[in-house]
Chain A
Amino acid sequence: MTATKDIQQAFKERLDYDELMNCMRCGFCLPSCPTYGQTNQYEAASPRGRIALMKGVVDGLIEPDEAVEKQLNLCLGCRACEPVCPSGVKYGHLLEEARDIIQQKKRHKWPVKALRHMVFEQLFPHKERLKNVHSLLAFYQRSGLQKAVQKTNILNVLPGNLAQMEKTLPPVLTKKEMKKRPFLFEAEGTRERTVAFFTGCLMDTMFMETNNATIALLQKAGCKVVIPEVQTCCGALHAHGGEKDQAKKLAKQNIMAFESIQADDIVLNAGGCGALLVEYDHLLKEEPEWKERAAAFSAKVKDFSEILLQQQFVEKQKLSLPSQIITYQDSCHLRNVMKTSSAPRKLIQAINGTVFNEMENADHCCGSAGIYNLTEQEMSMQILDYKMEKVKEAHAHTIVTANPGCLIQMKLGVVREGVEESVRAVHLADLLLEAVESK
């Protein structure tokens, strides 16, 4: 069978036809879709269009050719189209499945294969290695992989973008500093809850300070914080990048790690990871022996902002900062999948001395979307530039985000605009801790 026929067959077998039928093509999702907006309202770059393409392949109306694949790749996976869909179409699940099929059936040229292997199997599941991102980058550049990748037109944008991005990265802690952290933190004052902390891989390497800040805030809010040692990467990059099997493996590892701790909640500060964690039950839906355990796990997952609010953090702590205008960029997955959008805003608004200015379309994706800003650089930057315009219109000095990918992207936006002197991007946890400390 040719790859195309193979893909077509797998679409028929694996895509949920009921879900495809559920889309009644009303178009309510169109205005919420950033790629539809940025392509001058091209139907194929809309949720309704992408669903139609998937269904078209299943129905045998079209072949899953490169154009179809391109449109599926161009989707940010931000899932802004889901909450607005009155028919409740689970678009994200359809997309994940379709991408998985295409990835698995595709015969990649070796450099692409090698790069995917490096990112998905060698890098993200291994936190130790992630801590050496710098040396990995060096390896990537020296091994000849970079040259080979540059030749394929799929990822040839990677190095240029990375170079710009490097400027935005926070100083990585030394390995010794990383090792120093204990695994148990008692609550300040009376203990009211025990929470297990999901560290995430990027959060715990490049943004370890933010993780430390989050833990400190949770303590101040009366939580005992436990960090299960054997936890691993959430698997979101894999699930969204068409590596579902690997994602499932990671999910099981995490479920086991957290089962060993009797915590009230599983807390994290990265919406991108959280969205997959709350859907572990869906990810493992075909594995009877895991389904229930996954559901129990997922039910406990919460963003730290929700816990802080629930624990009356703002009543317990006096928050203040020097005068500044703050705006908030929603993390798509935090908002559209975890359904957390008001908690971060309430926390920010509780900081004395600052003004909160909602920017227009704060709920629109920033264009980061996993590794999208590497693989679809052009669209990603177009979306980012649009976003920075909105930041400017809000006259913000501080852009707050709640997800590492978005944070890097917004920092990149600040660099691209050349406004490093007057605008900064920070994670909500860091901002809140700053507000506690500077009172």
Chain B
Amino acid sequence: MLNERTKAKLIEVVGSANFQDSSEARLVYSYDATPNFQSLPDAVIMPENKDQVKRILTICNEDHVPIVPRGSGTNLSAGTCPTQGGIVLTFNRMNKILEIDEENLTATVQPGVITLDLVNAVEAKGLFYPPDPSSMKISTIGGNINECSGGLRGLKYGVTKDYVLGLEVVLANGDCIKTGGKLAKDVAGYDLTNLFVGSEGTLGVVTEAILKLIPIPETKQTLLALFEDMDAAAKTVSAIIANKIIPATLEFLDQPTCEVVEDFAQVGLPTDVNAVLLIEQDGPPEVVTRDIEMISRICSEGNAVSVKVAASQAEAEALSTARRSALSALARMKPTTILEDATVPRSKISEMVKAINEIAVKYNVKICTFGHAGDGNLHPTCLTDARDEEELHRVEQAFEAIFHKAIELGGTITGEHGVGEMKAPYLALKMGGEGVAAMKAIKYALDPQGIMNPGKIFAKDTRKRVVVRS
């Protein structure tokens, strides 16, 4: 609980309407989209501007109160679950698009802007902001930046970090710094911008961001290729890229995923084949047509049983919307859905999928896999029931095996969802002891009291658990 003095000081900053500590308010900010994590904060604060954020951080730093910055709470690594109590800081009142600069091709935004709102605003001006996490209808730019979110267009266009040019960040002690800017070139000192991208709210609070925009691609075509055989699909992915074509989107869905997504979205996804590739190319019409023809041919040569180009924009849109709903649709099958985020070099996709299936059999758990095949980023998703303790234990073992396999294949434990608290025990697998120590040194240099999102990224103990009970 906050002591009365701290509480009074915080209320003085934001006003009592924007400081909530009713049991109702604390409960609804006690979770995010991560299954099985829940923990009540002491209060929820909704600041209006950078100055308020500065004052809040100064107070919390003095009084040792943990701060959990929160966008829309859609992250899947328990990154916004206030496991150490303290304050949840929301940005719903800091949600303005401050500028779209058509000369410099930048957008300046506050952190609470919903990703889709930004995408729509820039597209209305004929510009393009490529990062498009499947949660873009809900997620905020602040959340995207702090998780370095990727999306369906990641293969060709990169992820959030490739579009953050500059940041305004309030540090734990209340200092405000500006990194980067509208400049296309800037090598003055360390690249702090990139340090803060993906920092999961553990280094400071992002209060403003300058984002890079590009011209919007002229056209887009979507293609669906079906395979009887997982291996054939994976080889086709490699073949496409080996032929020097980089599609905008190259998504993979396995059979159980297709079945569930089709059940939900009813867009005509086949449910009787073992692997589906959803491929999209955008750009000038001539290039798109040529690439799509070439991709069709490569798919057919790669033993696809069917290759179909979407006839209309609407049909194409329906397919990618269906893909975006994959995770949630899987949630229809069982009460608890645990999604993972293992990433391997794309040449190892087939091997990784095979290993996931073997691990599922070994631990007797149900795992569906889909993901961004083009970037090697897979989302093995386990359908389970949190009330079944015994099964949950096997799920944890299976995921641990999956992480080990990913690392063994030269991959990582997370491609886009972040480490948060859920994967903190596995960070050392990827970074090694020295790597973790270097990261911690940075963390405590910037946040000596450890008030910024404590418990995230770095595990407190060595307990290896994927899921933690509330």
Please state if A25 and B27 are interface contacts (CB–CB under 8 Å).
Answer: no
Please state if B137 and A87 are interface contacts (CB–CB under 8 Å).
Answer: no
Q: How far is the CA of A24 from the CA of B260 in the complex (A)?
A: 15
Please state if A22 and B31 are interface contacts (CB–CB under 8 Å).
Answer: no
Q: Known A43-B29, A62-B24; judge A26-B327 contact (CB<8 A).
A: yes
Please state if A28 and B137 are interface contacts (CB–CB under 8 Å).
Answer: yes
Interface-located stretch among B3-11, B32-40, B195-203, B397-405: B32-40
Q: How far is the CA of A352 from the CA of B331 in the complex (A)?
A: 46
Could you mark each residue 127-154 of chain B with 1 if its beta carbon is under 8 Å from any beta carbon of chain A, else 0?
A: 0000000010110000000000000000
Q: Known A31-B138, A52-B31; judge A22-B24 contact (CB<8 A).
A: no
Partner of B23, one of A42, A52, A65: A65
Contacts of B89-122 to chain A: CB distance below 8 A? 92-93, 95, 114
Q: How far is the CA of A46 from the CA of B25 in the complex (A)?
A: 12
Contacts of A307-352 to chain B: CB distance below 8 A? none
Contacts of A22 in B (CB 8 A): 331-332, 335
Could you mark each residue 23-56 of chain A with 1 if its beta carbon is under 8 Å from any beta carbon of chain B, else 0?
A: 0111110110000000011111010010011001
Please state if B28 and A49 are interface contacts (CB–CB under 8 Å).
Answer: yes
Contacts of B22 in A (CB 8 A): 67
Please state if A63 and B332 are interface contacts (CB–CB under 8 Å).
Answer: no
Please state if A65 and B24 are interface contacts (CB–CB under 8 Å).
Answer: yes
B328 within 8 A of A: yes
A177 within 8 A of B: no
Q: How far is the CA of A46 from the CA of B73 in the complex (A)?
A: 13
Partner of A21, one of B72, B74, B137, B386: B386
Q: How far is the CA of A131 from the CA of B50 in the complex (A)?
A: 59
Please state if B325 and A43 are interface contacts (CB–CB under 8 Å).
Answer: no
Cβ distance B237 to chain A, nearest Cβ, rounded Å = 26
Q: Known A31-B137, A40-B92, A40-B93; judge A56-B27 contact (CB<8 A).
A: yes
Contacts of A85 in B (CB 8 A): 328
Could you mark each residue 157-184 of chain B with 1 if its beta carbon is under 8 Å from any beta carbon of chain A, else 0?
A: 0000000000000000000000000000
Q: How far is the CA of A41 from the CA of B325 in the complex (A)?
A: 22
Cβ distance B93 to chain A, nearest Cβ, rounded Å = 7
Cβ distance A222 to chain B, nearest Cβ, rounded Å = 31
Residue of A nearest to B325 (CB): A86
Residue of B nearest to A20 (CB): B335
Cβ distance A231 to chain B, nearest Cβ, rounded Å = 35
B329 within 8 A of A: yes
Q: Known A40-B93, A43-B73, A86-B331; judge A27-B23 contact (CB<8 A).
A: no
B336 within 8 A of A: yes
Q: How far is the CA of A22 from the CA of B29 in the complex (A)?
A: 19
Cβ distance B330 to chain A, nearest Cβ, rounded Å = 8
Cβ distance B327 to chain A, nearest Cβ, rounded Å = 7
Query: How many residues on B have C-beta within 8 angstroms of the other chain's C-beta atoms?
Result: 39
Residue of B nearest to A69 (CB): B24
Q: Known A26-B74, A27-B138; judge A18-B335 contact (CB<8 A).
A: yes
A230 within 8 A of B: no
Query: How many residues on A have C-beta within 8 angstroms of the other chain's C-beta atoms?
Result: 32
Residue of B nearest to A40 (CB): B92
Please state if A67 and B328 are interface contacts (CB–CB under 8 Å).
Answer: no
B363 within 8 A of A: no
A61 within 8 A of B: yes
Please state if A62 and B386 are interface contacts (CB–CB under 8 Å).
Answer: no
Residue of B nearest to A46 (CB): B28
Q: Known A18-B335, A42-B92, A87-B331; judge A52-B28 contact (CB<8 A).
A: yes
Contacts of A68 in B (CB 8 A): 23-24
Could you mark each residue 49-81 of chain A with 1 if its beta carbon is under 8 Å from any beta carbon of chain B, else 0?
A: 100110010000111010110110000000000
Contacts of B385 in A (CB 8 A): 21
Q: Known A24-B337, A62-B23, A62-B24; judge A86-B31 contact (CB<8 A).
A: no
Please state if B27 and A27 are interface contacts (CB–CB under 8 Å).
Answer: no
A88 within 8 A of B: yes
Cβ distance B32 to chain A, nearest Cβ, rounded Å = 7
Residue of B nearest to A70 (CB): B24
Partner of B33, one of A24, A49, A61, A65: A24
Please state if A28 and B328 are interface contacts (CB–CB under 8 Å).
Answer: yes
Q: How far is the CA of A21 from the CA of B114 in the complex (A)?
A: 27
Cβ distance A127 to chain B, nearest Cβ, rounded Å = 40
Please state if B24 and A71 are interface contacts (CB–CB under 8 Å).
Answer: yes
Cβ distance B109 to chain A, nearest Cβ, rounded Å = 16
Q: How far is the CA of A88 from the CA of B333 in the complex (A)?
A: 10
Residue of B nearest to A61 (CB): B27
Cβ distance A50 to chain B, nearest Cβ, rounded Å = 9
Q: How far is the CA of A192 from the CA of B264 in the complex (A)?
A: 35
Q: How far is the CA of A368 from the CA of B18 in the complex (A)?
A: 28
Q: Known A49-B28, A88-B264; judge A21-B135 contact (CB<8 A).
A: no
Q: How far is the CA of A27 from the CA of B27 in the complex (A)?
A: 16
Please state if A27 and B28 are interface contacts (CB–CB under 8 Å).
Answer: no
Residue of B nearest to A28 (CB): B328
Contacts of A26 in B (CB 8 A): 33, 74, 135, 327-328, 331
Cβ distance A226 to chain B, nearest Cβ, rounded Å = 35
Cβ distance B121 to chain A, nearest Cβ, rounded Å = 15
Q: Which of A28, A43, A70 has the most CB of B within 10 A?
A: A43
Contacts of A46 in B (CB 8 A): 28
Contacts of B38 in A (CB 8 A): 61
Q: How far is the CA of A12 from the CA of B52 in the complex (A)?
A: 41
Q: How far is the CA of A253 from the CA of B72 in the complex (A)?
A: 46
Could you mark each residue 1-19 of chain A with 1 if its beta carbon is under 8 Å from any beta carbon of chain B, else 0?
A: 0000000000000000010
Q: How far is the CA of A384 from the CA of B427 in the complex (A)?
A: 50
Residue of B nearest to A21 (CB): B335
Contacts of A70 in B (CB 8 A): 24
Contacts of A31 in B (CB 8 A): 114, 137-138
Q: Known A86-B331, A87-B328, A87-B332; judge A52-B27 contact (CB<8 A).
A: yes
Q: Known A31-B138, A41-B92; judge A62-B328 contact (CB<8 A).
A: no
Contacts of A27 in B (CB 8 A): 33, 72-74, 135, 138
Contacts of A25 in B (CB 8 A): 31-35, 73
Contacts of A42 in B (CB 8 A): 92
| 14 pairs from A and B in contact (CB 8 Å cutoff) | A21-B385, A24-B337, A26-B33, A27-B73, A28-B138, A40-B46, A44-B25, A52-B30, A67-B22, A85-B328, A86-B264, A86-B325, A86-B329, A87-B328
Besides A24-B33, A40-B93, A71-B24, 19 other CB < 8 A contacts? A26-B33, A26-B328, A26-B331, A27-B72, A27-B73, A27-B74, A27-B138, A28-B138, A28-B328, A30-B72, A31-B138, A41-B92, A42-B92, A44-B24, A44-B25, A53-B27, A62-B27, A63-B23, A68-B24
Q: Name B residues whose Cβ lies closer than 8 Å to a Cβ of A.
A: 22-25, 27-35, 38, 40, 46, 72-74, 92-93, 95, 114, 135, 137-138, 264, 325, 327-329, 331-332, 335-337, 385-387
Interchain residue pairs A-B with the least CB separation, the first 7:
A86-B328, A21-B335, A67-B24, A87-B331, A49-B28, A41-B92, A24-B331
